[in-house]
Amino acid sequence: GAVVSQHPSRVICKSGTSVKIECRSLDFQATTMFWYRQFPKKSLMLMATSNEGSKATYEQGVEKDKFLINHASLTLSTLTVTSAHPEDSSFYICSARARGGTTQYFGPGTRLLVL
């Protein structure tokens, strides 16, 4: 089956620094990638949708300057949390979908802790 990886799996950073999270589709070309955020004991909230080669579409209430998304190739999307603060601590999950496909394949998630 299709595999999506995320790196790093866990990151701890100081407040004010920026953190980049990578999402890769390992065995298929992902024309669309999605970024979700999951708070403790909460559901997944879609943050943004990115299509390869174009700007990401952000959900209402998500700061695009805070959460920079780049989908530079058909196998890689990155989420950069800029000037991270403790309230940005969360579990970030990406998913990827192939061209013409309907199934989203989820990555294992990245746990971010901002001190």
Partner 1 sequence: AQSVAQPEDQVNVAEGNPLTVKCTYSVSGNPYLFWYVQYPNRGLQFLLKYITGDNLVKGSYGFEAEFNKSQTSFHLKKPSALVSDSALYFCAHPRWDKIIFGKGTRLHILP
Is residue 54 at the binding interface for partner 1, with CB under 8 A as the rule? no
Q: Decide if residue 103 touches partner 1 (CB under 8 A).
A: yes
Strands (E), 26-66: 30-38, 44-51, 57-58
How many CB atoms are located within 10 Å of the residue 19 CB?
A: 20
Question: Quick one: which of 34, 35, 58, 67 contacts partner 1 (CB under 8 A)?
Answer: 34
DSSP strand pairing (110-114 vs 10-13): parallel
DSSP state, residue 88: G
Q: Which range binds partner 1 by CB under 8 A, 11-19, 68-76, 81-89, 96-104?
A: 96-104
Q: Which of 22, 74, 76, 106 binds partner 1 (CB under 8 A)?
A: 106
Between residues 43 and 54, which has the closer beta carbon with respect to partner 1?
A: 43
